[in-house]
Structure 1
Amino acid sequence: MASTSDPFQFKEFEEAGNLLEANRDATTISIEDEDVKPHKQRNAAGFAADEDGDTLGNDDQEELLSGQKKSVPFWTFEYYQKFFDIEAIDVKERIVGSVLPWPGKNFIHSHLRRNPDLYGPFWICTTLVFAIAISGNISTFLTQFGNPKYKYTPEFRKVTIAATAIFSYAWFVPLALWGLLLWRNNKVMNLVSYSFMEIVCVYGYSLSIYIPAVVLWILPFEWLRWCSIVVALCLSGSVLALTFWPAVRDDHPKVIIAIMSAIVLLNVLLAVGCKAYFFSSPSQRMPVHSSPPTDAVKTP
């Protein structure tokens, strides 16, 4: 039997035994249960454990903590959904920035902030299509009003032609420009690069100035039409030139002249072509009906 003065005797166990005898309803916690309790708590919280003991929600949690999302293919609707998630105040700011360009102010760096959208460009192009078609029909009606030989018929084909011209300019020209800048960026490493969606966004917002200009084309005054064309071309061309100048200024001089000239020339062709086709003069718009020749009848 151990001596009472033994220093190696565990008195704590005796005290614990006395406490348990005094309160038999008390619960005890084992050290081995500490590893089981968090596991049960995780299962109760809705995280199903796999065979290795890892929870299935770890991948989603790590993805949310890192701020990264899974990439989706560009041919799915989920890919383009983010380009339509934009506030109305941002669309208004970008329209104002495209109508009132400021020297030395890049539209992409000042307004897009690496967050391009397709909501504004889509509705700007759609509004411009209907504005051109409707204004062209109204201009024809006002010009020929009072002419007894003229019978008004709505020309719905103008909507199709205007849509083809506007959306082709707003999509295929940025696509060609993006490919050209990407090719030059591989040749000259220090060039500024823009994404395809950023270029599409710039071209879409640059067309917003043509909407009020087209409305003025309803009035049958050629001087007013040409003045509005010049103003719209200067503002729209300035937005494009100021935006894409940093992307080509370090390139070869001949390449700079070719790219900037193409950007301005295509903009001019769009405006002048729409004016010439949809708002031509009455003599050019109305077909000339010539009377069939009559053979002289000789009497015997």
Structure 2
Amino acid sequence: MANRGGYDAVVDVDAEGDLGHTDLNDDLEFHNSNFDSNPNGRKVQPDTTFLTPSGRANGGSSSSSSKRFLWSISFYQQFFDVDTSQILHRCRSALYPRALFLDVMEGNPDLYGPFWIATTVVVILFMTGTISQYLQTADRGYYAYDFKLLSGAAGLIYGYTLFIPLALWAVLKWFGSEGANVLELWALYGYGNLIWIPVALVSWSPLSILNYAFTAAGLVLSAGFLMRNLYPIITAIDAKRPTSSVIIVGVVLLHAGLAIAIKILFFAHGSPAAKVPAGDDSS
């Protein structure tokens, strides 16, 4: 007989098969119904654990977000569910870190801040690279904008912010780390790009030594921000110290490569990313 309360009634019959002398209060047991679980006919929710925070309190958002399908708009809306005060607080925490940034996000990483920060860096790199090129050709009386600088900045910043955290997550996952998911790493690297905005704004100077100093300062600050947050995660993957050390060195070298690329492509006269005007034999 079906029970409306979501339970199955199970009658415990004694060895003699006699119900007449049994106490139904003792012999009736109620178990959770499994009517809702139909492995043959119901759709299975997609595995979205790689995008849900792990190891930190998330206010119960992971259970609700896992029920949203990857191909639905609502699934991606949750990654942009932040307000202005949260964005400003995270930006301040990235520039002046007083606590672990993964704790500052409180289990609610976003892609809104990283996207606009990366876009701002791309635009400012294009502007400062254009100014640097203009100062080189100012004596000719003309200057033609080279939008290869813009595409070069977009490819460098977007590519680094998207693929390096993804590769790092894959490596950590391979070694069994559950310290951070790919969304948190995207947010970490995205907000870490914030330091390049003030660096780019002051690195259009024709004095190369100043550009090197500003780039070095940006590298130290941004790499320190990343290591402050990634070091506890990386060193906890296993007991083999060399494995953790190799990953840390790889992260630092890749970030140093980003800084060197920014310096060479945008903070120097005669950038390889810029188009050399016809008739210019200065190179």
TM-score under structure 1 normalisation? 0.66
Q: Partner amino acid for 1:183? A: W
Post-superposition Cα deviations, 1:114-147, rounded to whole Å, max 9, x if no partner, equal: 0000110000000001111111011111232123
Post-superposition Cα deviations, 1:245-279, rounded to whole Å, max 9, x if no partner, equal: 11122332111111111111111111111220223
Within the candidate set 101, 109, 125, 2:97 is matched to 101
Written as runs of structure 1 = structure 2, the 5 A alignment for 1:33-48 is: none
Q: Partner amino acid for 1:113? A: E
Matched, 1:271 2:259: yes
The structure with more helix, counted as a fraction of residues: 1
CA distance, structure 1, for counterparts of residue 112 and residue 231 of structure 2:
25
Q: CA deviation at 1:225?
A: 0.9
What is the aligned-residue RMSD (CA, Å)?
2.3
Tell me, which stretches of 5 or more residues in structure 2 are unaligned? 1-59
Contact 1:101–1:238 (8 Å) recurs in 2: no
TM-score under structure 2 normalisation? 0.70
Name the counterpart of 1:214.
200
Residue correspondences, number: 216
Q: Secondary structure at the match of 2:145?
A: coil
CA distance, structure 1, for counterparts of residue 196 and residue 187 of structure 2:
16
Contact 1:182–1:193 (8 Å) recurs in 2: no
Change (3 A) 1:95 1:253: same
Change (3 A) 1:258 1:287: farther
Q: Partner amino acid for 1:96? A: R
Q: CA deviation at 1:159?
A: 1.3
Tell me, which stretches of 5 or more residues in structure 1 are unaligned? 1-65, 186-190, 292-300
Name the counterpart of 1:84.
80
Within the candidate set 158, 162, 175, 2:166 is matched to 175
Q: CA deviation at 1:193?
A: 1.8
Within the candidate set 231, 237, 241, 2:223 is matched to 237
CA distance, structure 2, for counterparts of residue 197 and residue 259 of structure 1:
19
Written as runs of structure 1 = structure 2, the 5 A alignment for 1:1-300 is: 69=64, 71-102=67-98, 105-109=99-103, 111-147=104-140, 151-185=142-176, 191-250=177-236, 251=238, 252-282=240-270, 286=276, 289=279
Q: Partner amino acid for 2:222? A: S
Contact 2:132–2:268 (8 Å) recurs in 1: no
Q: CA deviation at 1:289?
A: 5.0
